[in-house]
A and B are shown apart, each in its own frame.
Chain A
């Protein structure tokens, strides 16, 4: 009997968080100015999902982790140079737009199609991981849609913890309102877990893991199928950077008691 989990992590690249972004209108809809030139990172919540997947796989013999990534091949290759050293995984690359303006429905279709083609994936042992929302589309919808397309009826969003009982029961802690966790037990895989930050720190770079991963990454990038993402029936009327500039008043060289009184009055008002 097979043991362990088959963990498929959905995650792609997003512009570095410190980049200033500027929208531009292209023939196919909105995009980012100099999008292909922007430094990219693995989507932060998807990165947490990948680290949790690798940690889970390391604790359960026979487990395997795939990272399914949709993005421009050249950018994915750059991204893999840093991610490959973090955790062992097999890359499944899909060549297409990583834009936040791409439609979630089309993205889910492309990702589910790629997962269905993974050789040796045991769907009865499948844990579909991803981030609870991307830092690009910022919608929190794709992972659930992929889960639906794969026929998985047990789904969890914004998880911070996944525990495995000796009897195979999984316990998931999901963030809910009021700073609490909703605790659920699910009778084993298959299930979908869209992660929040989890509890693990970012693993240090491990060059040996990187070299092992890179053996599979280059062939995966070479055979990446192209995924044209149609956004039928969607029209962006405008895309703009929110205007947030405020006229800041600096209060300095004022007695602390005066400052305290001003702030307290403001809070009580």
Chain B
């Protein structure tokens, strides 16, 4: 009989984040599909009361928490100690956790400590009898595998966008607070805060409805034989503002920035989408001035509806990768779209 442990951390505001609530839905669905399985809820943070209360109606058989100032910030050493204690207390055989930056860093180490196995970026579960099978991508989403493991504990981190966020009424629950003491050796790292990249606009918006991808064509010579970087920057930023879109980029464009060329000050490697960049999840995606080559399109795997603006009707996007390709000059077309938004 499996004991499914859902693990989460509080966000900076003390609440559960969206990805955590989605993973909680996954954990509750998994429990309902596995006959006789128990569900435990575990959380860490500075103060876990609000987050625990918000998820108290999830039907877990037990609740565990590690709380205190030592566990407020995302620090590997303290996170690993806390999560190890929760896993041991819960007797977890399957651990389901959100694929947040904090957990992506620490969860493999916790699996190693408990002699378990881990699969990250899980994109779905199925239960066949009493056998759990998970799906995840390999080779930068170029392959999808369904696999099962007999070794326990089995850690699974679930990407955002796979499940709907959990929602339900609160219930009265008893939370077991675990005492985790940190020695000096686990306090060598101090988190000092956040830093935005050197940019004059916040262009990465994970919750946006639309991903707008700018390709290297924006920096090429236009029909008048000149490069129009300022106009391109103004068109892109104007569109992002009106459409409330998130900005992605092709590798070739951000590489120009890192090699010292004066391209777009608001763009960095953080914007890069593709095999060596991000694989964001958005319902819609609009590509401009990039050719939809395979390594780049890999980053679009989780984009629902895809459209592209390109001067070349035979570009990569037209080879079954986009739903609609508009053959037009992106400079002009994007400005016109912006006016209509």
**Do B133 and A237 touch (CB < 8 A)?**
yes
**Do B118 and A44 touch (CB < 8 A)?**
no
Contact digits for A181-194, partner B, Cβ 8 Å, 1 yes 0 no: 11111110001001
Nearest-CB distance from A139 to chain B (Å)?
A: 5
B112 interfacial contact with A, CB 8 Å: yes
Nearest-CB distance from B152 to chain A (Å)?
A: 9
Q: Which of B11-27 contact A (CB under 8 A)?
A: none
Q: Which of under 10, 10 to 19, 20 to 34, or 35 or more describes the interface residues of A? A: 35 or more
Nearest-CB distance from A142 to chain B (Å)?
A: 8
**Do A235 and B275 touch (CB < 8 A)?**
no
A70 interfacial contact with B, CB 8 Å: no
For the complex, would chain A's binding face be called helix, strand, loop or mixed by DSSP majority? Answer: mixed
Q: Which of A249-269 contact B (CB under 8 A)?
A: 249-253, 256-257, 259-261, 263-264, 266-268
Q: Which residues of B contact A236 (CB under 8 A)?
A: 145-147
Partner of B301, one of A147, A244, A261, A268: A244
Known: A104-B118, A138-B138, A241-B142. A154 touches B188 (CB 8 A): yes
A155 interfacial contact with B, CB 8 Å: yes
Known: A21-B143, A145-B111, A184-B191. A179 touches B148 (CB 8 A): no
Nearest-CB distance from B121 to chain A (Å)?
A: 7
**Do A145 and B112 touch (CB < 8 A)?**
yes
Q: Which residues of B contact A18 (CB under 8 A)?
A: 294-295
**Do B138 and A137 touch (CB < 8 A)?**
yes
A213 interfacial contact with B, CB 8 Å: no
Q: Which residues of A contact B145 (CB under 8 A)?
A: 30, 101, 236-240
Partner of B150, one of A135, A186, A233, A252: A233
Give the one of A177, A179, A259 with max B CB within 10 A. Answer: A179
**Do B139 and A138 touch (CB < 8 A)?**
yes
With the chains together, A233 CA to B131 CA distance in Å? Answer: 12
**Do B140 and A138 touch (CB < 8 A)?**
yes
Given A17-B276, A182-B101; 4 other pairs, CB 8 A cutoff: A105-B117, A135-B275, A183-B192, A187-B188
